[in-house]
Amino acid sequence: MSKKPLVFVTGNANKLKEVRAILSLGTPIEIESKDLDIPEVQGSTQDVAREKCRRAAELVSGACITEDTALCFKALNGLPGPYIKYFLKELGHDGLNKLIVGFPTTDAWALCTFAYSPGPGAEPLLFEGRTDGRIVLPRGPKDFGWDPVFEAEETGKTYAEMSIEEKNGLSHRYRALEKLRAHLVSLDNN
């Protein structure tokens, strides 16, 4: 990979901060961000990530990464999934809990899909990470999406209750970025 910074297409400052922190571990990967208005297709997390990355590569005329995050409720067969941002906006943290009242499980998983494109016309590669957990009543600061209602498995804490380092060491985003990092490092070594 060239020494030109990789473009992360996001307008979310919290995501950018997490991505930079995770990708600075080991051999640092330089990231710059661009906030582009790219319509999201309807479909699976993978479809959304792939299409967003194709369009972003055209708009930046070069290599880029995009990210799509899903929060999937077992009781709802994986919904809200990639639509979690809209569910959270309309229902709030408490409303997310109300969606599964009466169901026998609060199990959920957080899924992150990073798409990488070396440039326009190239088929994006996908890198996924998953963290299992459950939906709980909101705990912790409410300043980063659905973090207050997702308790990561075997931690007893929501993402919002964790330190940045703790979350970045086990999150769905971390797991996807580790795979992306390995790919980018392999490009540098070729």
Q: What contacts 64, CB < 8 A, 6 or more positions away?
A: 6, 7, 8, 9, 34, 53, 56, 57, 116, 117
Domain 6-189 has CATH 3.90.950.10: yes
Annotated binding-site residue? 10: yes
Annotated binding-site residue? 90: no
Contact call for residues 134 and 106 (beta carbons, < 8 A): yes
Query: From first to last of its 190 residues, what are the pLDDT tens digits of the chain?
Result: 446 778 999 888 888 888 988 888 777 788 889 998 887 788 888 888 999 999 999 999 999 999 999 999 999 999 999 999 999 999 999 999 999 999 999 999 999 999 999 999 999 999 999 999 999 999 999 988 999 999 999 999 999 999 989 998 999 999 999 999 999 888 877 6
Interhelix angle 13-23/172-188, rounded to 10 degrees, is 50
CA distance 89 to 68: 16
Report pTM: 0.87
Annotated binding-site residue? 11: yes
Q: In the chain, where are the structural domains located? A: 6-189
Annotated binding-site residue? 92: no
